[in-house]
Amino acid sequence: MGTRPSFMRMALGEAEKAFQRGEVPVGAVLVNGTTGEVAAASGNRVEELGDPTAHAEMLVIRDACAKAGVARLPGFDLYVTLEPCAMCTAAVSFARIRRLYFGAYDPKGGAVDNGARFFDLSTCHHTPEVFGGIEETAARDLLQAFFQEKR
């Protein structure tokens, strides 16, 4: 079974591919927590698909659910390079993801440790175990390079 850093490195690879496509470089990998098998991997595809919900987290959750024919993924762990936004945090909760690992913190758009802090709300029905700051420097550097290039 892979280690957390190797799965986060895979997510960083997906983020780099997103960067090359002109997308905000966020990558995600969804892993079966029991077998260590990667169920889905993707980077942001908002611009490519013309879909504001095509965040990396949403894409891997949709893909894994479709492949398995289920609506919830209780034994799965999500590795994402950026603290999820409110939409993605809600999807993580609704999908019953077991553990959430993220890289860079997002003071502007995050909803785990910043902003809405979705998992702390009384209306949140499921809270995964959360681990932030994994490969944080690499994730942050990639995002900063993307936005510097855009300026």
Q: Residues with catalytic annotation?
A: 57
Tell me the CA distances in angstroms from 5 to 54, 56, 138, 139, one per residue in order.
24, 18, 12, 12
Yes or no: say if 131 and 113 are a contact pair by the CB < 8 Å rule: no
